[in-house]
């Protein structure tokens, strides 16, 4: 076929007109791009600036026609959610080019819980929101576009389901369930909404309810059967029913070979069973399959990254973490894990940046905040030349003592008076499943060390010194699993107690086994085994564990000292903050009893309590105590011992 010059010119004009029309209509941002910044006023003239939103907030930009029924229907759903949940983490802005009269009527009738912003047209152009209304753009951290939807009706349902998934990713399970219920109230057959509700119940720990929901979804033919069985496989894995989980996941991978999440379930089970190579294969399949929700894909990428980090391939792990965040920026575990990978390589600036970013996206993430604080301390230490020299000298001395098997010398004090009680934590071995978050052992020991130091009862060896010493001695976690190695370390650091153990990741729970080992006798002073529950409840459980550790220390290592001076109703004791004395401690004043002769042997009975004291103020190496009761007057050199019994 031959084309004349005239034909080509006409075709060129048509194409030019087509592309100019597209340009005038505005190019719509796509997921992953940065949403154009703008400032718009509401009907009262108050300005709203997109770039002023905080990273932890998610913004729904709802471009609408005030006279359109589909637009009003979508806004009504969002309005009911905003009125039910006052959480400022979800921002809804309704944006319209409608005439002011129509906007005023809508506001009067609906009284929406979100602002209605008046757009002369430029912002709608920027977001390609003129030809089809409603157009909805969901904005996440760094103004990145997460999702774009156009049209009402069924599209509104798709929008709400995606919002439910996004809020679930942000650990807002109540809102996720509420959004799912909103969709189901309109359309009880929406299997995607049911599935999201099932995952919300599972994340809330309601496994029985989740199982019921997924069974209902699985009873629907086609896609429903696949989504339901996929959810059931996750529930069974969370319940520890590995055989059922694997069987159900296998059914999903056969029926829907393009779906990825069932492979994550299989990988988690295999890893927990210590079948690491098989788990790696399933993780790889999971990230390469095209069908999964953004959160499910982020979970797969993060877990695959965790796998590579566990074998020391941190650069590859970071690539996968970045991909997870690109898919789901609210999945802060991946951002924090990236920080931990830098931390393990000693790149503290990079680690701090990642931890701070995670904290900015999820302001309630106490673990990311803790890691950020510790990273900042390390950076400050690196800048403090004098302190570095002190630590270098100390580490060199400790390493030499370790190699020569010499204990750290202690002051030549009397045998009765307590020495400062020093405690050292060795990072726990992590076993069982592959947790979403890396560095849980570090978080555990850091939090416990902070609690113990704050109590004033014990002094915990600085983690920096311990880490530097381990590096100097070229000792890794596998070496520290040897009790003799751990004890030798404790002795050279003058630590009377070593805290070590295992952190076991189980389905739906984390189990900690903590052993307190006396470095002088090699005896286990105390063994504590506790379930920490899900990550959200760790802080409370760690406070309880800390109290149990302190109770065990007080029972096994009560403070002992002497009365220095007794005046009136008070006594001065030779124990202060350096020895672990704290205000409110109760002390017994002891008097030796006469030996009892029995069959030619002299038996020493227990000392008699002749007075009881309560510490009212503490100085560096002495304290003042109030005499609560006494059988005789106190005198210098009377022995005292801490009373750990409950009041």
SS (H, E, C) 264-287: HHHHHHHHHCCCHHHHHHHHHHHH
What's the confidence (pLDDT) of residue 478?
66
Q: Is 27 left (phi over 0), alpha (psi -120 to 50) or beta?
A: beta
The predicted-structure confidence for 285-322, as pLDDT tens digits, reads as follows 999 999 999 999 999 999 999 999 999 999 999 999 99
CA atoms within 13 A on the CB side of 443: 24
Condensed to tens digits (0 to 9), the pLDDT of residues 408-464 reads 665 555 789 998 888 988 878 888 999 999 999 888 998 899 999 999 999 998 888
- In angstroms, rounded to a whole number, what is the distance separating the alpha carbons of residues 489 and 275? 33
CB 481 within 8 A of CB 405: no
- Bridge-based pairing state of the strands 47-49 and 39-42: antiparallel
Which residues neighbour 134 within 8 Å (Cβ) at sequence distance 6 or greater?
62, 63, 64, 65, 68, 70, 71, 74, 75, 150, 151, 152, 156
**What value does the CA radius of gyration of the chain take, rounded to a whole number of Å?**
32
Query: Phi-psi category of 454—alpha, beta or left, where left has phi over 0 and alpha has psi -120 to 50?
Result: alpha
> Comparing C-alpha atoms, which of 213, 218, 265 is closest to residue 242?
265
Say what the pTM is.
0.85
Residues 6 or more apart from 382 whose CB is under 8 A from it? 348, 388
Cβ contact 60:92 at 8 Å: yes
Predicted confidence at residue 15, as pLDDT, reads 41
| Homologous superfamily (CATH) for 385-556 | TolB, N-terminal domain (3.40.50.10070)
pLDDT tens-digit map of 218-267: 999 999 999 999 999 999 999 999 999 999 999 999 999 999 999 999 99
401-412 exposure pattern, b = at least 16 Cβ within 10 A, e = fewer: bbeeeeeeeeee
Q: What angle do CA 65, 70, 74 make, to 5 degrees?
A: 95
The domain limits of the chain are: 385-556, 560-642
Cβ-based neighbours of 194, under 8 Å, separated by 6 or more: 180, 184, 213, 216, 217
- Assign 3-class secondary structure to 183-225: HHHHCCCCHHHHHHHHHHHHHCCCHHHHHHHHHHHHCCCCHHH
Q: Is the pLDDT of residue 373 over 90?
A: yes
Q: What is the mean pLDDT of residues 611-631?
A: 96
Would you place residue 122 in the very low, low, confident or very high pLDDT band (cuts 50, 70, 90)? very high
Does the domain at residues 560-642 carry the CATH identifier 3.30.1330.20? no
């Amino acid at each position: 076929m031959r084309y004349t010059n005239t034909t080509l010119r006409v075709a060129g004009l048509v194409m030019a007109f087509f592309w100019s029309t597209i340009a005038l209509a505005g190019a719509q941002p796509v997921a992953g791009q940065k949403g154009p910044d703008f400032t718009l006023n509401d009907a009262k003239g108050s300005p709203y600036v997109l770039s002023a939103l905080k990273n932890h907030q998610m913004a729904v930009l709802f471009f609408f026609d005030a006279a359109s029924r589909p637009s009003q229907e979508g806004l009504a759903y969002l309005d009911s959610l905003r009125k039910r949940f006052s959480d400022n983490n979800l921002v809804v802005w309704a944006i319209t080019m409608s005439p002011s009269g129509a906007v005023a009527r809508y506001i009067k009738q609906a009284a929406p819980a979100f602002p209605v912003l008046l757009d002369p047209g430029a912002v709608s152009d920027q977001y390609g929101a003129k030809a089809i209304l409603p157009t909805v753009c969901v904005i996440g951290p760094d103004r990145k576009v997460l999702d774009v939807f156009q049209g009402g009706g069924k599209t509104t349902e798709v929008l709400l389901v995606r919002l439910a998934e996004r809020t679930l990713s942000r650990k807002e399970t109540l809102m996720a369930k509420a959004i799912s219920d909103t969709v189901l109230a309109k359309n009880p057959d929406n299997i995607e909404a049911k599935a999201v509700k099932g995952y919300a119940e599972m994340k809330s720990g309601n496994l029985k309810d989740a199982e019921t929901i997924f069974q209902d979804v699985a009873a629907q033919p086609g896609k429903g059967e696949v989504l339901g069985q996929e959810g059931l496989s996750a529930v069974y894995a969370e319940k520890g029913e590995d055989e059922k989980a694997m069987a159900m996941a296998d059914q999903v991978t056969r029926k829907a070979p393009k779906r990825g999440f069932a492979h994550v379930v299989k990988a988690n089970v295999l890893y927990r069973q210590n079948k690491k190579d098989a788990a790696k294969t399933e993780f790889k399949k999971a990230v390469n399959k095209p069908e999964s929700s953004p959160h499910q894909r982020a979970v797969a990428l993060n877990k695959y990254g965790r796998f590579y980090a566990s074998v020391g391939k941190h650069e590859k792990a970071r690539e996968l973490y970045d991909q997870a965040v690109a898919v789901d920026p609210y999945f802060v575990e991946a951002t924090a894990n990236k920080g931990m990978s830098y931390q393990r390589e000693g790149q503290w600036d990079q680690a701090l940046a990642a931890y701070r970013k995670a904290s900015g996206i999820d302001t309630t993430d106490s673990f990311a905040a803790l890691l950020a604080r510790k990273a900042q301390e390390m950076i400050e230490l690196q800048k403090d030349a004098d302190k570095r020299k002190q630590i270098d000298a100390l580490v060199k001395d400790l390493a030499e003592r370790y190699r020569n098997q010499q204990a750290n010398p202690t002051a030549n004090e009397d045998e009765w008076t307590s020495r400062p009680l020093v405690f050292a934590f060795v990072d726990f071995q992590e076993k069982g499943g592959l947790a979403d978050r890396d560095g849980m052992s570090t978080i555990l020991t850091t939090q416990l060390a902070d609690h113990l130091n704050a109590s004033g009862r014990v002094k915990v060896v600085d983690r920096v010194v311990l880490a530097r010493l381990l590096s100097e001695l070229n000792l890794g976690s596998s070496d520290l699993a040897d009790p003799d190695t751990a004890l030798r370390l404790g002795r050279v650091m003058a630590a009377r107690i070593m805290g070590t153990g295992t952190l076991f990741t189980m389905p739906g729970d984390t189990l900690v086994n903590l052993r307190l080992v006396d470095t002088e006798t090699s005896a286990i002073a105390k063994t504590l085994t506790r379930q920490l529950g899900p990550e959200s409840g760790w802080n409370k459980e760690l406070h309880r564990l800390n109290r149990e550790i302190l109770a065990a220390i007080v029972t096994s290592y009560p403070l002992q000292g002497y009365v220095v001076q007794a005046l009136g109703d008070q006594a001065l004791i030779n124990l202060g903050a350096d020895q672990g004395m704290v205000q409110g401690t109760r002390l017994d004043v002891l008097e030796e009893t006469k030996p009892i002769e029995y069959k030619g042997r002299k038996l020493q009975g227990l000392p008699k309590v002749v007075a009881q004291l309560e510490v009212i103020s503490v100085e560096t190496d002495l304290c003042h105590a109030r005499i609560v009761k006494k059988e005789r007057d106190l005198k210098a050199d009377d022995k005292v011992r801490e009373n750990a019994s409950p009041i």
